[in-house]
């Protein structure tokens, strides 16, 4: 019976309302974005470009996509934008099709060092038939070793350098890698899935401005959008990108969420800078608080983080899997995570955990709440209180943070848009 499905949904919603959400790849959309999900756009198809569809009935869909393209280019000062990818991985696939051929060599960050699975041989890059070489990586700075990369690249001669990470604490050396790439007649791709909202909010450098040829991203981590993808590029690559997206890896592009993405662009243009600044402040305070409580937070020498993320080595506490499970039992939701010294075989119980503050920031939490969250984590992991008692306290804490902030619903502009 369908009632069982809705019962499960209610249980999930209740669980999340009473938990502290710290998954670094998730965020909440505003009510006005969610309204777009229920429109008739969700029933329709619009294969092809604006004005060049293979289906009739797309005149209003064309208007929505035109606005999406225009606002994306405006927000990121981009020469070209393709808003049709339905996820960040689909955007990555399209970029790989546009910039590489099978048997080409690419550079990417290894998964234990933070790289996304789609950049590696067991996923999209491998399915494209690419030879993947991992960047030399400096564990202390949690970043690419530029000098060692230059030496290796001269021997390997990659066709494409991929930057951007799933675990990304600090600004990556886009300008320096772009200079290396230019000498080798190679291209640079930056997967900005995790930092797209921070780029929009001007607290993380725009990789295209630093020399990247193409930027791919999902639109729902630090960005305000529904779950889909986007590609930005220099104008000279527009034709190759668009062909790789359609008919390459996208047919219909989920038009209800495209409409929601348009609203999220408007929200980012209005509120993105204030939000992004608070995200980084919150991440640093939470990292510092955990460090003061005796936890090994990575990147200490460099200020712990410049993004929404924190990485913690929890080997003394039984490893990432045990820690994530214990925290979940207390209503604190985050993920276990490989750290640079781990092997892929350790994925089931890696050394670390990854924490993201973008969602709690959108719920209105600030520095004081970060200190409270650090205390909840410490109470749980050091078993100073029972999981049941901490879960009760967490639920009470969350009662004051149930409304999505940085939205038009909080101002008169909401009425004007509707």
CA dist 138 → 67, 141, 298, 354, 415 (Å): 42, 6, 12, 18, 50
| Interatomic CA distance for residues 299 and 287, integer angstroms | 10
Task: Name the band, by pLDDT with cuts 50, 70 and 90, for residue 418.
Answer: very low
The C-alpha atoms of residue 82 and residue 315 are separated, in whole angstroms, by: 42
Assign 122 a pLDDT band (cuts: 50, 70, 90). confident
pLDDT of residue 411 exceeding 80: no
Closest by Cα among 257, 145, 142, 280 to 199? 280
Beta strand 352-356 with 309-313: parallel, antiparallel or unpaired?
Answer: antiparallel
Confirm if 334 and 309 have CB atoms less than 8 A apart: no
Do residues 130 and 256 both lie within one domain? yes
At 78, give phi and psi (nearest 5°): -100, 145
Does residue 353 belong to any structural domain of this protein? yes
Q: Work out the angle at residue 112's Cα, subtended by the Cα atoms of residues 107 and 113, and round it to the nearest 5 degrees.
A: 55
Considering the domain boundaries, does residue 158 fall inside one? yes
Q: Looking at the domain assignment, is residue 320 inside a domain?
A: yes
Confidence (pLDDT) at 1 = 75
pLDDT at residue 410, rounded to an integer: 72
pLDDT at 417: 45
For residue 144, the enclosing domain spans: 31-266
Q: Are strands 332-333 and 20-21 parallel, antiparallel or unpaired?
A: parallel
367 φψ region: left (φ > 0), alpha (ψ -120 to 50), beta (else): alpha
410 lies in some domain = no
- 201 pLDDT more than 50: yes
Q: Are residues 248 and 392 in the same domain?
A: no
Same domain, 158 and 40: yes
Mean of the pLDDT values across residues 61-68?
97
Residues 6+ apart with CB under 8 A from 410: none
Q: Is the pLDDT of residue 65 over 70?
A: yes
Looking from the CA of 390 toward its CB, the CA atoms found within 13 Å total 25
Q: Name the E strands within 111-228.
A: 131-134, 137-138, 143-144, 160-163, 187-191, 214-218
Residues 243, 315, single domain; the answer is: no
Q: Are residues 117 and 79 in the same domain?
A: yes
* Residue 289 burial (CB count, 10 A): 20
Within a domain: 113: yes
pLDDT of 412? 54
What is the rounded average pLDDT for all residues in the chain?
95
Lowest mean pLDDT among 34-38, 260-264, 287-291: 34-38
Distances (CA, A) of 29 to 21, 251, 364: 14, 25, 13
335 - beta bridge partners? 354
Q: What is the pLDDT of residue 365?
A: 98
Do 207 and 287 lie in a common domain? no
Do 112 and 158 fall into the same domain?
yes
Indicate the pLDDT class of residue 409, thresholds 50, 70 and 90.
confident
Total structural domains within the chain:
2
> Residue 153 pLDDT > 60, yes or no?
yes
One domain for residues 302 and 254: no
Mean pLDDT of 398-406: 96
Inter-axis angle of helices 174-183 and 146-156, nearest 10: 20
pLDDT (mean) for 265-293: 98
| Mean of pLDDT values over 311-319 | 97
- Among 247, 266, 285, identify where a domain stops: 266
- Does residue 278 sit in the same domain as residue 262? no
Helix (H) or strand (E) holding 77: none
- Residues 119 and 47 placed together within one structural domain of the fold: yes
Residue 414 has pLDDT above 50, yes or no: no
Flag whether 4 is in a domain: no
Among 214, 235, 266, identify where a domain stops: 266
Establish if 412 belongs to a structural domain.
no
Q: What does residue 144 show for φ and ψ, rounded to 5 degrees?
A: -65, 135
Percentage of the chain lying above the pLDDT 70 cut: 98
Which spans in 363-401 are helix H? 367-381, 387-398
Mean pLDDT value of segment 245-272: 96
CATH of the domain at 326: 3.90.1150.10
Q: Report pTM.
A: 0.96
What mean pLDDT is predicted for residues 17-27?
98
DSSP conformational letter for 50: T
Which CATH number is 227's domain given? Answer: 3.40.640.10
What mean pLDDT comes out for the span 144-161? 97
Last residue of a domain, one of 266, 294, 326: 266
Query: Greater confidence, 410 or 37?
Result: 37
pLDDT at residue number 283: 98
Mean pLDDT in residue range 397-404: 96
Same domain, yes or no, for 40 and 186?
Answer: yes
- Per DSSP, the three-state class of 209 is coil
Confidence check: pLDDT of 126 > 90: no
* Beta pairing partners, 312: 297, 353
Give domain status of residue 7, yes or no. Answer: no
């Amino acid at each position: 019976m369908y009632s069982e499905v809705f019962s499960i949904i209610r249980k999930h919603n209740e669980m999340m309302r009473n938990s502290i959400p710290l998954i670094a790849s998730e965020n909440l959309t505003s009510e006005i974005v969610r309204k777009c999900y229920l429109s008739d756009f969700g029933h329709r198809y619009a294969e092809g470009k604006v004005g060049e569809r293979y289906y009739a009935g797309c005149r209003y869909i064309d208007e929505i996509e035109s606005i999406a393209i225009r606002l994306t280019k405006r927000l990121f000062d981009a020469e070209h934008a393709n808003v049709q990818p339905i996820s960040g991985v689909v955007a990555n696939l399209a970029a790989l099709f546009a910039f590489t051929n099978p048997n080409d060599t690419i550079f990417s960050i290894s998964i234990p060092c933070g790289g996304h699975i789609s950049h590696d041989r067991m996923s999209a890059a491998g399915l494209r038939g690419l030879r993947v070489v991992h960047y030399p990586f400096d564990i202390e700075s949690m970043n690419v070793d530029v000098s060692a990369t230059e030496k290796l690249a001269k021997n390997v001669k990659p066709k494409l350098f991929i930057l951007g990470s799933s675990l990304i604490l600090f600004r990556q050396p886009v300008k320096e890698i772009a200079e290396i790439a230019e000498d080798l007649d190679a291209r640079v791709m930056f997967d900005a899935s995790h930092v797209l909202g921070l780029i929009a909010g001007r607290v993380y450098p725009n990789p295209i401005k630093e020399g990247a040829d193409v930027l791919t991203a999902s639109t729902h981590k630090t960005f305000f959008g529904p779950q889909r993808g986007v590609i930005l590029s220099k104008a000279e690559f527009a034709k190759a990108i668009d062909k790789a997206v359609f008919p390459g890896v996208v047919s219909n592009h989920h038009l209800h969420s495209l409409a929601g993405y348009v609203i999220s662009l408007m929200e980012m243009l209005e509120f993105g800078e204030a939000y992004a600044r608070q995200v980084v402040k919150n991440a640093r305070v939470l990292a510092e608080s955990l460090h003061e409580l005796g936890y090994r937070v990575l990147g200490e020498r460099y200020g712990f983080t410049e993004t929404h993320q924190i990485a913690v080595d929890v080997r003394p506490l039984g490893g990432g899997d045990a820690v994530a499970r214990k925290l979940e039992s207390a209503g604190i939701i985050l993920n276990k995570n490989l750290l640079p010294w781990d092997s892929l075989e350790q994925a089931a119980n890696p050394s670390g955990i990854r924490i993201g503050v973008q969602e709690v920031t959108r719920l209105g939490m600030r520095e004081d709440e970060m200190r409270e969250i650090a205390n909840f984590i410490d109470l749980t992991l050091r078993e100073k209180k029972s999981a049941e008692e901490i879960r009760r306290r967490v639920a009470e804490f969350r009662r004051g943070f149930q409304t999505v902030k940085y939205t038009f619903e909080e101002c008169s502009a909401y009425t004007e848009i509707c």
